[in-house]
Amino acid sequence: MNSHTSSSKQNWTQGGSQLLQQHCRACGHVWYFFRPFCPACGEESPEPTQANANGVVCATTLVHRAPDERFKALVPYRLVLVDMQDGMRVMGHAEASLQIGDQVHCEIHTLAGQPLPFFTRTDHEA
């Protein structure tokens, strides 16, 4: 109802080029899709905080079919699901070589014209 999205384009958090999260002062719940209230307890006015950008890969997929035109140029590309140190679970694009259990760091990259989380390895032992 009370949505004031400035454009129809999907904006990956509303944190611009940083990985941001929100934090509920009432119950301590942490999440990363910005919402006007806490999804756990309904408390209003959560605070945005900068997320800890490190985590561990818990699932990976190599995408061969793009979900829409903009991503066709990137195919095939790797998507990973990452358990962040703060307890969030974030899906994002990643280096093709990432595997389950890899330690990763998240940065926001512009892919297909929009800011998206991109994960690179932090443990560089070959």
Applying CB under 5 A, which residues contact Zn ion?
24, 26-27, 29, 38, 40-41, 43
Q: How far apart are CB 41 and Zn ion at their closest, in Å?
A: 3
Task: Give the nearer residue to Zn ion in terms of CB position, either 43 or 75.
Answer: 43
Task: Give the nearer residue to Zn ion in terms of CB position, either 40 or 58.
Answer: 40
Task: Give the nearer residue to Zn ion in terms of CB position, either 38 or 53.
Answer: 38
Q: How far apart are CB 18 and Zn ion at their closest, in Å?
A: 22
Q: Are 80 and 104 in contact (CB under 8 A)?
A: yes
CA terminus-to-terminus distance, the chain:
51
Name the β-bridge partners of 57.
82
Which of 92, 27, 28, 30 minimizes the C-alpha distance to 58?
Answer: 92
Amino acid at 28: G
